[in-house]
Structure 1
Amino acid sequence: MLPKFWRQFRVILPILFGAGVYAFGLLYFIIPNKLMEGGVTGITILLNYAFGISPSLSTLIINIPLFLIGLKMLGRRQMIYTGVGIAALTFFLWLFERMIDMGWIIPFQTQHDYILAVLYAGVTLGIGLGIVFRFGGTTGGSDIIATILNRAFGWSIGQIMLALDILIIGGSLFFISKELVLYTLVTVFIATKIIDFIQEGAYSGKAFTIISDHASEIAEIIMKEMDRGVTIIPAIGAYSKQAKEVAYCVVSRQEIRRVHNIVKSVDPRAFVVINEVNDVHGEGFREELHH
């Protein structure tokens, strides 16, 4: 029982932390500078700009029916971490609102240097959402809508979310200037890149696929000189019908030139394909500890 609880806790804790970072970014950078955000969060910001409604209150009111619909259509298992994300976002929005009201937090507000606000907003929102997504959670809203529409009509989740973002950010033109909308697009771009970085993993590298008549010799040198594992894959040339060997290995970015030099020194005519790889686990990279 305890190990199962601990596994759940190890997933839920990062979702709580990510939701807190995201809520902080909204209240510290986005709202004070009249910027925007996509999805249902963007609706809560618009309601705040138009009617002064608390973001924590509108987040809760909008997400409760969406969560109940999602629970019915998508199932309890898929929605459990979404529920955690919604509850955490609502709580942290409420908490930071109270802290701002009491003067414990002074939001970053600027009238001139919006670039600084945009950069930090994008990084903060990206880190928060990236952590939430990486551990299987969401902050509700448009994620639920997109998943339901995908199940019902087969539409792409990415396209649905993009359409919702365009609609909501476009609607903000009634409340904020075109200049701030353009700044918002920069924020969204930065946040998206940070989310991708966290999702794909900081531990990235390059995968070498080496097709050569001397693949075994190349593998031996890589293993000996670089202490990297290499896999030899038997293959057959589609045109020549001759048996070949393919060497496959993953190295860090700093080792790309060394592998190039080894391959060329053994077989200058080797056919080499280099691919980007992300979130590399295993010996020589990130080790996963299992208890």
Structure 2
Amino acid sequence: MLLIGSIFTAIGLEEFLVPNQIIDGGIVGISIMASHLTGMPLSLFLVLLNLPFLYLGYTQIGKTFAISTVFSILSLSYWVSIFHPITEVTRDLFLSATFGGIVVGIGVGIIIRYGGSLDGTEIVAILLGKKSGFSIGEIVMFFNLFILGSAGFVFSWDKAMYSLVAYFIAFKVIDITIEGLDESKGILIVTEAPDEIADALMARLGRGVTIFHGEGGYSGESKKILYSVITRLEIAKLKTIVQEKDETAFVTVTDVHDVMGGRVKKKSIH
């Protein structure tokens, strides 16, 4: 899967972004600009600029992550050199930014999903995220705003703006690739009608429900708290069910990034 992800990323870069002077974020973006300024191969910079970060990842994060990342970067470097001589798909900047962002997002998403990385800035973000109040995504975004902005000086400001479009598209596609279109949501319900709502969720959505026993912080009354995992497409139906059974129910919805075991998949309802 790391190999497949690197092939997708190489296609997105060499057939859409690089020929049209549109860059991606992180070390890949810096490598594209360095290759343009020096005339040296992009594949060379992808390896060289990531070396210090790979050592940092090996010492601070773990051997398995570092090995997967080294394989992904070397594979990307190889496939970039393979796809480089092939004529680009389109010269239209908007189409290049859009489809380049989609293809790169799929590739990077596959690599991240299977334990690898293509970018040294992600390694730095992981380490800084442990010591600061910022999330990894926020730190990466901070780095990339400077990198994407610098494209305006190296290429042109319209290319920098198209690079920003490609980056945001790729960023969103990465999330979809990692989490899937059928993204899961964790539901917590505090209600006066727990049994009725639990029965309705199991009967109408086919979802398993776990009941916790809690106590109201203000009233001191014993309460049953329901927990279930549904897809984001079922949120509206869940809200309708809860409103029908208890209009005063307290409901929270949180993202669930990974699920295994239990009755998460829908059962057959006849």
Q: TM-score scaled by structure 2?
A: 0.84
SS of equivalent to 1:37:
coil
- Native 8 Å contact 1:202 1:279 kept in 2: no
In the TM superposition, what is the alpha-carbon distance from 1:251 to its structure 2 partner?
2.9
Corresponding residue for residue 250 of structure 1: 229
Q: Please point out which of 54, 64, 69 is paired with 1:82.
A: 69
More off after superposition, 66-75 vs 224-233: 66-75
Distance 1:163 1:243, change over 3 A: closer
For the residues of structure 2 that align with 1:258 and 1:150, how far apart are their CA atoms?
Answer: 36
Code of the aligned partner of 1:37: D
What 5-or-longer segments of structure 1 have no aligned partner? 1-13
**What is the aligned-residue identity percentage?**
34
1:268, 1:69 → 2: CA distance? 53
Asked if structure 2 preserves the Cα contact closer than 8 Å seen for 1:201 and 1:279, the reply is: no
For residue 79 of structure 1, give the secondary structure of its aligned residue in structure 2. Answer: helix
- Residues 116-195 of structure 1 correspond to what in structure 2 (within 5 A)? 116-146=95-125, 157-158=136-137, 160-195=139-174
**Does 2:253 correspond to 1:266?**
no
Q: What letter corresponds to residue 122 of structure 1 in structure 2?
A: G
In structure 2, what is the equivalent of residue 39 of structure 1? 26
Match of 2:87 in 1: 106
Cα deviations by residue, 1:141-176 (Å, 9 ceiling, x for unpaired)? 33345456678x769555553343233333322321
> 1:230-259 CA distances to partner (integer Å, 9 max, x unpaired)?
111111111111111122223334444443
Measure the CA separation in 2 of the matches of 1:177 and 1:285: 49
Structure 1 pair 71/244, CA: closer, same or farther in 2 (3 Å)?
A: closer
**Contact in 1 for aligned 2:190/2:251 (Cα 8 Å):** yes
Three-state SS of the structure 2 residue aligned to 1:93 is: helix
2:15 match: 28
Distance in 1, matches of 2:93 and 2:147, equals 21
Which runs of structure 2 are paired with 1:57-76 in the superposition (5 Å)? 57-68=44-55, 70-72=57-59, 74-76=61-63
Give the superposed CA RMSD: 2.9
Q: Taking structure 1 as the reference length, what is the TM-score of the superposition?
A: 0.78
Q: Which amino acid aligns with 1:143?
A: E
Larger CA deviation: 28-37 vs 77-86? 77-86
Aligned counterparts of 2:93 and 2:56: Cα–Cα separation in 1: 39
Against the structure 1 CA distance between its residues 276 and 74, is the aligned structure 2 distance closer, same or farther, given a 3 Å change threshold? closer
Distance 1:217 1:28, change over 3 A: same
Displacement of 1:212 after TM fit? 2.3
- Cα offset for 1:135? 1.1
Alignment correspondent of 1:216: 195
What residue identity is the alignment partner of 1:29? Answer: F
Q: Distance in 2 between matches of 1:154 and 1:253?
A: 30
1:81 deviates by 1.0
Q: For residue 70 of structure 1, report the CA deviation from its aligned partner.
A: 4.4
Q: Secondary structure at the match of 2:265?
A: coil
Does 2:39 match 1:55?
A: no
Aligned to 1:94: 81
The 1:165–1:206 alpha-carbon spacing in structure 2 relative to 1, beyond 3 Å, is: closer
Q: 1:78 to 1:61 in 2, by over 3 A?
A: same
Distance 1:249 1:36, change over 3 A: same
**Equivalent residues, number:** 265
Cα separation, 2, equivalents of 1:40 and 1:142 = 7
- What's the CA shift for 1:56? 1.1
5+ unaligned residues in a row in structure 2: which ranges?
none
CA distance in 1, matches of 2:205, 2:4: 39
Equivalents in 2 of 1:214, 1:159: separation in Å? 40
Residues of 2 paired with 1:33 and 1:278: CA distance?
A: 35
CA-CA distance at 1:75 after TM superposition:
4.9
Cα distance in 2 for partners of 1:190, 1:27 equals: 17
